[in-house]
A and B are shown apart, each in its own frame.
Chain A
Amino acid sequence: MKKIKKIKINLNGKALFLTKGTSLYKVIKKNKLESNKIAIELNREIINKKKIDKIFLKNRDKIEIVHFIGGG
Protein backbone atom coordinates (compact mmCIF):
# COMPACT_ATOMS: atom_id res chain seq x y z
CA MET A 1 0.00 0.00 0.00
CA LYS A 2 1.21 3.46 -0.85
CA LYS A 3 2.06 5.56 2.18
CA ILE A 4 0.15 8.85 2.42
CA LYS A 5 2.55 11.71 2.92
CA LYS A 6 1.67 14.44 5.39
CA ILE A 7 2.82 18.04 5.22
CA LYS A 8 2.85 20.73 7.87
CA ILE A 9 1.70 24.20 6.89
CA ASN A 10 0.95 27.37 8.80
CA LEU A 11 -2.52 28.89 8.45
CA ASN A 12 -3.08 32.29 10.08
CA GLY A 13 -0.34 31.59 12.60
CA LYS A 14 -1.44 28.07 13.48
CA ALA A 15 0.09 24.77 12.47
CA LEU A 16 -2.02 22.56 10.24
CA PHE A 17 -1.31 19.04 8.99
CA LEU A 18 -2.51 18.14 5.51
CA THR A 19 -2.11 15.38 2.99
CA LYS A 20 0.55 16.19 0.44
CA GLY A 21 -0.99 17.62 -2.70
CA THR A 22 -3.94 19.32 -0.99
CA SER A 23 -5.07 22.36 -2.99
CA LEU A 24 -5.50 25.83 -1.55
CA TYR A 25 -9.10 25.64 -2.73
CA LYS A 26 -9.68 22.67 -0.46
CA VAL A 27 -8.36 24.55 2.58
CA ILE A 28 -10.65 27.52 1.84
CA LYS A 29 -13.65 25.24 1.31
CA LYS A 30 -12.96 23.19 4.43
CA ASN A 31 -12.93 26.34 6.52
CA LYS A 32 -16.23 27.45 4.97
CA LEU A 33 -14.79 30.71 3.70
CA GLU A 34 -16.46 32.65 0.90
CA SER A 35 -13.86 33.77 -1.59
CA ASN A 36 -15.58 37.12 -2.29
CA LYS A 37 -15.06 38.12 1.35
CA ILE A 38 -11.40 37.25 1.76
CA ALA A 39 -7.89 37.78 0.43
CA ILE A 40 -5.19 35.12 0.52
CA GLU A 41 -1.44 35.33 0.86
CA LEU A 42 0.80 32.33 0.27
CA ASN A 43 4.37 32.79 1.49
CA ARG A 44 3.86 36.59 1.49
CA GLU A 45 2.57 36.65 -2.06
CA ILE A 46 -1.00 37.61 -2.87
CA ILE A 47 -2.85 34.81 -4.61
CA ASN A 48 -5.32 35.25 -7.45
CA LYS A 49 -8.48 33.72 -5.97
CA LYS A 50 -9.53 32.32 -9.33
CA LYS A 51 -6.50 30.08 -9.39
CA ILE A 52 -6.68 28.49 -5.94
CA ASP A 53 -7.78 25.11 -7.28
CA LYS A 54 -4.51 24.91 -9.19
CA ILE A 55 -2.29 25.73 -6.25
CA PHE A 56 -1.07 22.69 -4.33
CA LEU A 57 0.42 23.14 -0.91
CA LYS A 58 3.92 22.15 0.07
CA ASN A 59 5.54 21.45 3.39
CA ARG A 60 6.19 24.66 5.42
CA ASP A 61 3.90 26.83 3.29
CA LYS A 62 2.58 29.87 5.13
CA ILE A 63 -0.95 31.02 4.39
CA GLU A 64 -2.61 34.18 5.58
CA ILE A 65 -6.32 34.66 5.01
CA VAL A 66 -7.75 38.09 5.83
CA HIS A 67 -11.12 39.81 5.73
CA PHE A 68 -12.65 43.13 6.71
CA ILE A 69 -13.44 43.88 10.31
CA GLY A 70 -14.72 47.00 12.04
CA GLY A 71 -12.14 49.77 12.13
CA GLY A 72 -11.73 53.53 12.30
Chain B
Amino acid sequence: MKKDFFKISKKKFKSRLIVGTGKYKNFVECSKAVKASGADIVTVAVRRVNISDKKKPMLMDYLDPKKITYLPNTAGCFSSGEALRTLRLAREIGGWKLVKLEVLGDKKSLLPDMIETLKSTEVLSKEGFKVMVYCNDDPLMAKRLEDVGAVAIMPLAAPIGSGLGIQNYTNIRIIRKQTKLPLIIDAGIGEASDAAIALELGCDGVLINTAIALAKKPIEMAIAMKYAVIAGRKSFLSGRIKKNITGFASTTKKGII
Protein backbone atom coordinates (compact mmCIF):
# COMPACT_ATOMS: atom_id res chain seq x y z
CA MET B 1 0.00 0.00 0.00
CA LYS B 2 1.14 3.52 -0.81
CA LYS B 3 2.31 5.45 2.23
CA ASP B 4 -0.37 7.80 3.44
CA PHE B 5 1.32 11.17 3.91
CA PHE B 6 -0.27 14.41 5.01
CA LYS B 7 0.72 16.95 2.34
CA ILE B 8 0.54 20.71 2.77
CA SER B 9 1.89 22.92 0.02
CA LYS B 10 4.07 20.10 -1.38
CA LYS B 11 5.56 19.34 2.03
CA LYS B 12 4.99 15.89 3.48
CA PHE B 13 4.18 15.21 7.13
CA LYS B 14 3.68 11.92 8.92
CA SER B 15 1.21 12.99 11.57
CA ARG B 16 -2.21 14.40 10.74
CA LEU B 17 -2.40 16.05 14.11
CA ILE B 18 -1.28 19.65 14.49
CA VAL B 19 -1.06 20.91 18.06
CA GLY B 20 -1.17 24.36 19.57
CA THR B 21 1.37 25.40 22.20
CA GLY B 22 -0.75 27.82 24.23
CA LYS B 23 -2.41 27.47 27.66
CA TYR B 24 0.05 24.93 29.10
CA LYS B 25 1.21 25.23 32.72
CA ASN B 26 4.79 25.69 31.53
CA PHE B 27 7.11 24.95 28.61
CA VAL B 28 8.17 21.59 30.04
CA GLU B 29 4.60 20.28 30.06
CA CYS B 30 4.04 21.79 26.62
CA SER B 31 7.05 20.08 25.07
CA LYS B 32 6.15 16.75 26.69
CA ALA B 33 2.60 16.95 25.34
CA VAL B 34 3.84 17.87 21.86
CA LYS B 35 6.18 14.90 21.90
CA ALA B 36 3.46 12.54 23.14
CA SER B 37 1.06 13.74 20.45
CA GLY B 38 3.48 12.75 17.68
CA ALA B 39 2.68 16.02 15.88
CA ASP B 40 5.09 17.25 13.19
CA ILE B 41 3.64 20.77 13.23
CA VAL B 42 3.00 23.13 16.14
CA THR B 43 1.30 26.50 16.05
CA VAL B 44 3.09 29.42 17.69
CA ALA B 45 2.13 33.03 18.31
CA VAL B 46 4.09 36.28 17.90
CA ARG B 47 4.39 38.59 20.90
CA ARG B 48 6.67 41.25 22.34
CA VAL B 49 9.88 40.04 23.97
CA ASN B 50 9.89 40.64 27.70
CA ILE B 51 12.63 43.23 28.01
CA SER B 52 12.52 43.61 31.79
CA ASP B 53 12.95 39.89 32.53
CA LYS B 54 15.88 38.70 30.45
CA LYS B 55 15.97 35.27 32.05
CA LYS B 56 12.40 34.40 31.14
CA PRO B 57 12.38 31.07 29.26
CA MET B 58 11.71 31.14 25.52
CA LEU B 59 9.58 28.67 23.58
CA MET B 60 12.38 28.00 21.09
CA ASP B 61 14.53 26.62 23.92
CA TYR B 62 11.95 23.90 24.55
CA LEU B 63 10.69 23.11 21.05
CA ASP B 64 13.46 23.04 18.48
CA PRO B 65 12.25 24.60 15.20
CA LYS B 66 14.78 22.43 13.37
CA LYS B 67 13.05 19.28 14.59
CA ILE B 68 9.41 20.35 14.45
CA THR B 69 7.67 22.62 11.95
CA TYR B 70 6.65 25.93 13.47
CA LEU B 71 3.40 27.29 12.11
CA PRO B 72 3.22 30.97 13.10
CA ASN B 73 -0.32 32.19 13.65
CA THR B 74 -2.13 35.47 14.08
CA ALA B 75 -3.87 34.65 17.36
CA GLY B 76 -5.53 37.71 18.84
CA CYS B 77 -5.70 39.69 15.60
CA PHE B 78 -9.00 41.40 14.87
CA SER B 79 -8.13 43.14 11.59
CA SER B 80 -6.36 42.41 8.35
CA GLY B 81 -3.73 45.05 9.15
CA GLU B 82 -2.80 43.43 12.47
CA ALA B 83 -2.67 39.96 10.91
CA LEU B 84 -0.42 41.06 8.04
CA ARG B 85 1.94 42.87 10.41
CA THR B 86 2.14 39.80 12.65
CA LEU B 87 2.93 37.34 9.86
CA ARG B 88 5.46 39.60 8.19
CA LEU B 89 7.28 39.78 11.52
CA ALA B 90 6.98 36.00 11.95
CA ARG B 91 8.61 35.49 8.56
CA GLU B 92 11.44 37.79 9.61
CA ILE B 93 12.26 35.73 12.70
CA GLY B 94 13.56 32.90 10.58
CA GLY B 95 12.08 32.70 7.14
CA TRP B 96 8.73 31.09 7.89
CA LYS B 97 6.45 31.10 4.87
CA LEU B 98 3.94 28.47 5.90
CA VAL B 99 1.60 30.34 8.25
CA LYS B 100 -1.80 30.07 9.85
CA LEU B 101 -4.05 33.05 9.36
CA GLU B 102 -6.86 33.75 11.76
CA VAL B 103 -8.67 37.06 11.92
CA LEU B 104 -11.29 37.15 14.63
CA GLY B 105 -14.45 39.18 14.46
CA ASP B 106 -16.05 38.90 17.86
CA LYS B 107 -14.32 38.99 21.23
CA LYS B 108 -16.92 36.79 22.91
CA SER B 109 -17.49 33.96 20.43
CA LEU B 110 -14.03 34.33 18.83
CA LEU B 111 -15.68 33.53 15.50
CA PRO B 112 -13.64 34.55 12.44
CA ASP B 113 -14.24 37.76 10.48
CA MET B 114 -14.34 36.24 7.02
CA ILE B 115 -14.22 39.53 5.09
CA GLU B 116 -10.93 40.50 6.77
CA THR B 117 -9.70 36.90 6.48
CA LEU B 118 -10.36 36.77 2.75
CA LYS B 119 -8.61 40.12 2.16
CA SER B 120 -5.58 39.02 4.19
CA THR B 121 -5.33 35.65 2.43
CA GLU B 122 -5.11 37.36 -0.94
CA VAL B 123 -2.44 39.86 0.16
CA LEU B 124 -0.32 37.24 1.94
CA SER B 125 -0.49 34.76 -0.95
CA LYS B 126 0.71 37.47 -3.33
CA GLU B 127 3.62 38.18 -0.97
CA GLY B 128 4.71 34.56 -1.24
CA PHE B 129 3.27 33.22 2.00
CA LYS B 130 1.72 29.75 2.08
CA VAL B 131 -1.45 30.55 3.95
CA MET B 132 -3.41 28.00 5.95
CA VAL B 133 -6.68 29.71 6.77
CA TYR B 134 -8.84 29.41 9.85
CA CYS B 135 -12.41 29.95 8.70
CA ASN B 136 -16.08 29.38 9.22
CA ASP B 137 -17.61 26.09 8.18
CA ASP B 138 -19.08 27.84 5.14
CA PRO B 139 -18.50 26.06 1.81
CA LEU B 140 -18.91 29.24 -0.26
CA MET B 141 -16.33 31.13 1.76
CA ALA B 142 -14.00 28.11 1.66
CA LYS B 143 -14.19 28.23 -2.13
CA ARG B 144 -13.37 31.94 -2.19
CA LEU B 145 -10.35 31.39 0.06
CA GLU B 146 -9.16 28.70 -2.33
CA ASP B 147 -9.61 31.09 -5.27
CA VAL B 148 -7.33 33.72 -3.70
CA GLY B 149 -4.53 31.26 -2.96
CA ALA B 150 -5.06 29.53 0.41
CA VAL B 151 -2.95 26.36 0.73
CA ALA B 152 -5.19 24.75 3.36
CA ILE B 153 -8.77 25.29 4.48
CA MET B 154 -9.21 25.15 8.24
CA PRO B 155 -12.85 25.35 9.25
CA LEU B 156 -13.82 25.40 12.88
CA ALA B 157 -15.63 22.50 14.49
CA ALA B 158 -17.06 24.96 17.02
CA PRO B 159 -15.81 28.19 18.67
CA ILE B 160 -12.16 28.26 19.81
CA GLY B 161 -11.69 26.57 23.17
CA SER B 162 -15.36 25.53 23.40
CA GLY B 163 -14.75 21.78 23.25
CA LEU B 164 -18.13 21.26 21.59
CA GLY B 165 -16.93 19.04 18.74
CA ILE B 166 -18.09 19.27 15.11
CA GLN B 167 -21.38 21.19 14.93
CA ASN B 168 -22.11 21.06 11.22
CA TYR B 169 -21.26 17.71 9.66
CA THR B 170 -23.05 18.54 6.42
CA ASN B 171 -21.03 21.69 5.72
CA ILE B 172 -17.76 19.90 6.45
CA ARG B 173 -18.81 17.14 4.03
CA ILE B 174 -19.68 19.72 1.35
CA ILE B 175 -16.32 21.47 1.78
CA ARG B 176 -14.58 18.10 1.56
CA LYS B 177 -16.36 17.31 -1.67
CA GLN B 178 -15.55 20.63 -3.33
CA THR B 179 -11.85 20.99 -2.48
CA LYS B 180 -8.69 19.04 -3.09
CA LEU B 181 -6.77 21.33 -0.71
CA PRO B 182 -5.85 19.96 2.71
CA LEU B 183 -8.92 20.28 4.93
CA ILE B 184 -8.08 20.63 8.58
CA ILE B 185 -10.55 21.00 11.43
CA ASP B 186 -9.28 23.84 13.59
CA ALA B 187 -10.85 24.78 16.92
CA GLY B 188 -13.67 23.32 18.95
CA ILE B 189 -12.41 19.77 19.46
CA GLY B 190 -13.21 18.51 22.97
CA GLU B 191 -12.25 14.86 23.16
CA ALA B 192 -10.60 12.11 21.14
CA SER B 193 -13.81 10.95 19.46
CA ASP B 194 -14.30 14.46 17.99
CA ALA B 195 -10.89 14.20 16.34
CA ALA B 196 -11.65 10.72 14.99
CA ILE B 197 -14.94 11.94 13.51
CA ALA B 198 -13.15 14.79 11.72
CA LEU B 199 -10.90 12.31 9.96
CA GLU B 200 -13.81 9.95 9.28
CA LEU B 201 -15.61 12.79 7.51
CA GLY B 202 -12.66 12.91 5.15
CA CYS B 203 -10.73 15.80 6.65
CA ASP B 204 -6.97 15.57 6.21
CA GLY B 205 -6.08 16.60 9.73
CA VAL B 206 -7.05 18.37 12.93
CA LEU B 207 -5.52 21.19 14.94
CA ILE B 208 -5.95 20.89 18.69
CA ASN B 209 -4.79 23.13 21.52
CA THR B 210 -7.21 23.61 24.42
CA ALA B 211 -8.56 20.03 24.48
CA ILE B 212 -5.03 18.80 25.22
CA ALA B 213 -3.54 21.71 27.19
CA LEU B 214 -6.46 22.05 29.61
CA ALA B 215 -7.27 18.34 30.02
CA LYS B 216 -6.68 17.08 33.56
CA LYS B 217 -3.83 14.98 32.17
CA PRO B 218 -2.53 16.84 29.11
CA ILE B 219 0.15 14.33 28.16
CA GLU B 220 -2.29 11.40 28.34
CA MET B 221 -4.81 13.39 26.28
CA ALA B 222 -2.11 14.12 23.71
CA ILE B 223 -1.63 10.36 23.32
CA ALA B 224 -5.41 9.85 23.03
CA MET B 225 -5.58 12.48 20.25
CA LYS B 226 -2.65 10.89 18.43
CA TYR B 227 -4.43 7.54 18.23
CA ALA B 228 -7.83 9.11 17.52
CA VAL B 229 -6.43 10.79 14.43
CA ILE B 230 -4.78 7.56 13.26
CA ALA B 231 -8.01 5.61 13.92
CA GLY B 232 -10.18 8.17 12.15
CA ARG B 233 -7.96 8.23 9.08
CA LYS B 234 -7.73 4.41 8.85
CA SER B 235 -11.49 4.17 9.28
CA PHE B 236 -12.05 6.69 6.49
CA LEU B 237 -9.68 4.89 4.12
CA SER B 238 -11.08 1.45 4.90
CA GLY B 239 -14.59 2.10 3.57
CA ARG B 240 -17.25 1.80 6.21
CA ILE B 241 -20.22 -0.58 5.86
CA LYS B 242 -23.62 0.66 4.80
CA LYS B 243 -25.99 1.71 7.57
CA ASN B 244 -28.97 -0.61 7.98
CA ILE B 245 -32.03 -0.42 10.19
CA THR B 246 -32.39 -4.22 10.40
CA GLY B 247 -30.06 -6.76 11.96
CA PHE B 248 -27.60 -8.73 9.87
CA ALA B 249 -26.20 -11.83 11.62
CA SER B 250 -22.45 -12.13 11.82
CA THR B 251 -22.57 -15.94 11.93
CA THR B 252 -23.77 -18.19 9.13
CA LYS B 253 -26.88 -20.34 9.66
CA LYS B 254 -25.17 -23.22 7.81
CA GLY B 255 -24.49 -26.16 10.13
CA ILE B 256 -26.75 -24.86 12.87
CA ILE B 257 -27.85 -27.59 15.32
Determine if A52 is an interface residue (Cβ-Cβ < 8 Å). Answer: no
> Across the interface, do A67 and B73 meet the contact criterion of CB distance under 8 Å?
no
User: How many CB-defined contacts (below 8 Å) exist between A and B?
Assistant: 99
Which B residues touch A14, using CB under 8 A? 51-52
- Residues 47-86 of chain B: 1 if any A CB is under 8 Å from the residue's CB, otherwise 0? 1110110100011100000000010110100000000010
Which B residues touch A49, using CB under 8 A? 92
Looking at B18-26, B114-122, B145-153, B217-225, the stretch in contact with chain A turns out to be B18-26
Q: What count of chain A residues pass the 8 Å CB interface test?
A: 25
Which A residues touch B13, using CB under 8 A? none
Docked complex Cα distance between A36 and B93 (Å): 6
Docked complex Cα distance between A72 and B23 (Å): 8
Determine if A55 is an interface residue (Cβ-Cβ < 8 Å). Answer: no
> Across the interface, do A68 and B54 meet the contact criterion of CB distance under 8 Å?
no
In the complex, given contacts A33-B49, A66-B49, what are 5 additional A-B residue pairs having Cβ atoms less than 8 angstroms apart? A66-B48, A66-B93, A69-B47, A70-B24, A72-B73
B112 to chain A, nearest CB (A): 14
CB under 8 Å from chain B, chain A span 42-72 = 44, 46, 49, 64-72
Question: A32-B54, A37-B58 in contact; A69/B93 too (CB < 8 A)?
Answer: no
Determine if A11 is an interface residue (Cβ-Cβ < 8 Å). Answer: yes
B63 to chain A, nearest CB (A): 9
Docked complex Cα distance between A37 and B44 (Å): 13
Chain B contact residues, CB within 8 Å of chain A = 20-24, 27, 30, 43-49, 51-52, 54, 58-60, 70, 72-73, 75, 85, 88-90, 92-94, 160-161, 187, 207, 209-210, 213
> What are 17 A-B pairs with beta-carbon distances under 8 A?
A12-B48, A36-B94, A39-B90, A65-B51, A67-B46, A67-B59, A68-B46, A68-B93, A69-B44, A70-B23, A70-B44, A71-B22, A71-B44, A72-B22, A72-B23, A72-B160, A72-B187
**Best-surrounded residue of A11, A64, A66, A71 (most CB of chain B within 10 A):** A71
